Amino acid sequence: MQPTLKHFINGRWETGVTLGVSENPSDLSEVVAEFARADAAQAETAIRAAADARDSWADSAPQRRFDVLDTIGSEILARRDELGRLLAREEGKTLPEAVAEATRAGQIFKFFAGEALRQTGERVPSVRPGVEVDITREPVGVVGLIAPWNFPLAIPAWKIAPALAHGNTVVFKPAELVPACAHALAEIISRAGLPAGAFNLVMGSGRSVGQTLVDHPLVDAISFTGSTSVGEGILKAATARRAKVQLEMGGKNPLVVLDDADLGRALDCAVQGAFYSTGQRCTASSRIIVTAGLHGRFVQALRERTQALVVDHALKRGSEIGPVASEAQLAQNLSYVELGRREGAEWLTGGERLQRDTRGHYMSPALFLAEPQHRLAREEIFGPVACVIRAADYDEALALANDTPYGLCAGICTASLKHATHFKRHAQAGMVMVNLPTAGVDYHVPFGGRKASSHGPREQGRHAAEFYTTVKTAYTHAS
């Protein structure tokens, strides 16, 4: 048995108040890690450490921040295979997907290392003679980072890296399902040259550790990725005490397929977007809206492609779809499959629990023909469950695509420049994909959505500065 994973608080590894266990969803006989869990008081210790380190890190030189982040990025990239393997074991995405995620986490740290050097401001003439105006960005202070389980390396990376690059100190609370990934990241960060307290890892439940971060007066800003329901509670609590808050929440992302689409490409986009990573992506295509002329052929081919997907152990060569991450998520997925049948959606394939050589949370990818009003077609499921909705033409497809409380990503497959251009402009989503899957984004450009999917400034790329800094306007009279 490996040693119990510890919290990282004020530059030291600390035991917790209780213990938790992280399981391998591909093989429930394997314990991935035993980990320390904090209570609210221990979370508060980490918050105080971050507050004490605040000035020293805020005053650090850009070269030092660059060096720290670049060191972290280099180590992640050098160890991407090992980290990817850990991720695949703990979260259940396939090994190639997991290695790609580890790579992305390394690239994110490298990108934000550069951002630490590229801090800029503006000097503008005052409207008054003899006065100069400087507009600069300063760190926000202590940031609380709360992450979900589905991208256990990349999402923490895209919060921690910009937070540190812009001079903030961090308390990071990972999801309880993925402590080993969080710990591996923290272990790399712990050796990169930060002052004690600048980065803290506290593991434990959302209700206790997460809520303490949200409510604590020393936490200046909260960046949260997770479900809409938890996000809404965080928004209320953080706003009430005027903390800065950024939320990335759910999605019910449409992929529109028009009659003139390249059928092979559209199928690739649908299969990849709906089912890869076991459908556990906030950008997954869970509503596939197909116009009448291609509908019959598309549905038949998509059904065949879905049935051919290989669902197995995340580490097995040839696995295309790993297990669902947890028993609770699997139960939710299966209950939506049941609901779909009950409410009259036409079942095409999948949606069944599967047995494999090892005992794990396996299910076959599910495909339905649904009507726009079905709950199956409206609510986020966060699993390998997709539905096809028929549209008469482009105009109806666009209206259906936008008929959702969510607005994270929207995709279209078409050969028409006119429709692609119109869709890019009129899709009510933060991100739009043309002839690409809705899931799968670059790391150097903004990420985020509209409506119930997001709140606050965008994450990633240069736009991350909006959340992780606060603007100062300074006036100087020369005499």
Q: Least distance from C-beta 89 to ligand NAP, angstroms?
A: 18
Q: Least distance from C-beta 401 to ligand NAP, angstroms?
A: 18
248 is catalytic: yes
Pairing of strands 221-225, 244-248: parallel
As separate numbers, helices (DSSP H) first and strands (DSSP E) second, the chain gives: 14, 22
Could you tell me which stretch among 22-30, 143-151, 358-366, 461-469 binds ligand NAP (CB under 6 A)?
Answer: 143-151
Q: Please name the residues in contact with 120: beta carbons below 8 A apart, sequence gap of 6 or more.
A: none
Q: Least distance from C-beta 371 to ligand NAP, angstroms?
A: 23
Q: Please name the residues in contact with 202: beta carbons below 8 A apart, sequence gap of 6 or more.
A: 7, 9, 38, 42, 43, 46, 171, 172, 173, 209
Q: Which of 248, 320, 380, 459 is catalytic?
A: 248
**CB closer to ligand NAP, 160 vs 266:** 160
Could you tell me which stretch among 1-9, 42-50, 248-256, 361-369 binds ligand NAP (CB under 6 A)?
Answer: 248-256
**CB closer to ligand NAP, 139 vs 148:** 148
Half-sphere exposure of 138 (CA within 13 A, CB side): 14
State yes or no: residue 73 binds ligand NAP (CB under 6 A).
Answer: no
State yes or no: residue 148 binds ligand NAP (CB under 6 A).
Answer: yes
Q: For ligand NAP, how many residues bind (rule: CB under 6 A)? A: 29
Place of tokens 């009448």: 292
269 is catalytic: no
Q: What are the residues facing 454 on neighbouring strands?
A: 248
Is residue 385 classed as helix, strand or coil in its secondary structure? Answer: strand
State yes or no: residue 44 binds ligand NAP (CB under 6 A).
Answer: no
Question: Which residue, judged by CB position, is nearest to ligand NAP in the bound state?
Answer: 206
State yes or no: residue 332 binds ligand NAP (CB under 6 A).
Answer: no
Selected binder of ligand NAP within 69, 113, 184, 249 (CB under 6 A): 249
Q: Least distance from C-beta 159 to ligand NAP, angstroms?
A: 10
Q: Which of 23, 97, 269, 282 is catalytic?
A: 282
State yes or no: residue 146 binds ligand NAP (CB under 6 A).
Answer: yes
Q: Least distance from C-beta 60 to ligand NAP, angstroms?
A: 28
**CB closer to ligand NAP, 197 vs 383:** 383
Is residue 21 classed as helix, strand or coil in its secondary structure? Answer: strand
Confirm if 145 and 160 have CB atoms less than 8 A apart.
Answer: yes
Q: Which two tokens stand for residue 216?
A: 């604590």
- 273-276 long-range Cβ contacts below 8 angstroms, 24+ apart: 273/411, 273/437, 273/438, 273/439, 273/440, 274/365, 274/384, 274/386, 275/306, 275/309, 275/321, 275/365, 275/384, 275/386, 276/97, 276/320, 276/321, 276/437, 276/439
State yes or no: residue 211 binds ligand NAP (CB under 6 A).
Answer: yes
Confirm if 188 and 72 have CB atoms less than 8 A apart.
Answer: yes
Binding site for ligand NAP (CB under 6 A): 146-150, 173, 175-176, 205-207, 210-211, 214, 225-227, 230, 233-234, 248-251, 282, 380, 382, 408, 453
List residues with catalytic annotation.
248, 282
